[in-house]
Amino acid sequence: MSKLDITKQNVAVEKVLETTSNPRHRYLLQAYLRHRYLESAGRWQEILDPSLTVDAPFYRFSLAGQAPFTLDGKDQVALLYGHWTATDQCVFYVEDESVAVGDHMVVGRGIGYQQTLGSELAAAGLDVDPEAMYLKKSQIMMLWPYDDQCRLLGEDVWEFDTAEAGLYKLDPADVLTAAQAGRLLDPFIKPLPPFDDSLLPK
């Protein structure tokens, strides 16, 4: 497996933004970018800002090898993001992604990698080193709905094809901490432009 670069995780989103002229769609893509960079940078508290996310977001996950689960409300979302950041599992890489945007959603499909603790994989029944960190590879589809004010309503995330699945034990020198990821991604995290009535759906 070639070495992955966390600063390239959103190149597909950036390319779509470059060719998008619709002001509302551009705003949604910028909100989507900000969220994704903040998540991998370990700055999850900023994701829950009222300008970016509604008061009661609802997340649905359907991941291979796991029972489907949901997160209902900011408290549950905060617990997951906080846990991932504290354990360096907020680090994501993305390859071969396709992105589309509409008036109330952003959709992405690609190959994703997440740093995952061996102890959590072992607890799920996998034969791994519980003391190690792994890269979990999967083909993921994400649909993120937004309200009229371009605030995130939640996430629908599922692994639709296990053919690309993989699990790679990381050398300790290759494990990226949340703090390191934050320093690398800080130049890419841009403030959102002001939202006004011109950006409401027509």
d(CA 12, CA 149): 24
- Decide if pLDDT at 6 tops 60: yes
Residue 46 maps to a domain: yes
Residue 201 maps to a domain: no
- The residue segments making up the domain with residue 153 are 6-186
Residue 141 maps to a domain: yes
User: Mind listing the pLDDT tens digit for each residue in 61-116?
Assistant: 998 778 899 999 999 999 999 999 999 999 999 999 999 999 999 999 999 999 99
Note the pLDDT of residue 168: 96
Residue 194 maps to a domain: no
Cβ contacts of 180 within 8 Å, gap of 6 or more:
none
The reported pTM is 0.95
Please, what is the average pLDDT of the chain? 95
DSSP 106-155: EEEEEEEEEEEEHHHHHHTT--S-TTSEEEEEEEEEEEEEB-TTS-EEEE
Residue 60 maps to a domain: yes
CB atoms within 10 A of CB 163: 5
User: Mind listing the pLDDT tens digit for each residue in 126-166?
Assistant: 999 999 999 999 999 999 999 999 999 999 999 877 777 89
Residue 63 maps to a domain: yes
CATH number of the domain where residue 53 is located: 3.10.450.50
Residue 120 maps to a domain: yes
Within 13 Å and on the Cβ side, how many CA atoms surround 125?
2
d(CA 43, CA 85): 8
Question: In total, how many domains does the chain have?
Answer: 1
- Decide if pLDDT at 1 tops 60: no
Residue 137 maps to a domain: yes
